[in-house]
């Protein structure tokens, strides 16, 4: 499967939640946070649009260390 051009915000949030992220704030942007096993925290900010662009999703994947393949696997499940 090809990487999506854009996806609904709700589906993107479900994929990120499956990756361990939890929403901490919602406004013009959505702030999320993941607590890692080594006691560190990984912050994530994404735009609060109805649809999230594929280019934004690819950038987020590289920032949080999730491969495109892994993202697509989770995307298909949710």
What's the CATH code of the domain at 35? 3.30.920.30
Q: Rounded distance, CA 41 to CA 51, Å?
A: 26
In a domain, 1, yes or no: no
* Residues of the domain holding 11: 6-77
SS3 21: strand
| pTM score above 0.85 | yes
**According to the model, what pLDDT value does residue 11 have?**
94
Specify the number of domains making up the chain.
1
Mean pLDDT by groups of 10 residues along the chain of 78 residues: 88 94 97 95 95 93 91 90
Q: What are phi and psi of 36, to 5 degrees?
A: -90, 165
């Amino acid at each position: 499967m090809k990487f999506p051009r854009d996806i609904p915000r709700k589906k993107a949030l479900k994929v990120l939640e499956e990756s361990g992220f939890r929403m901490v704030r919602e406004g013009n942007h959505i702030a999320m946070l993941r607590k890692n096993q080594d006691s560190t925290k990984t912050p994530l900010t994404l735009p609060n649009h109805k649809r999230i662009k594929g280019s934004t999703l690819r950038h987020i994947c590289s920032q949080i260390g999730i491969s495109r393949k892994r993202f697509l696997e989770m995307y298909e499940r949710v």
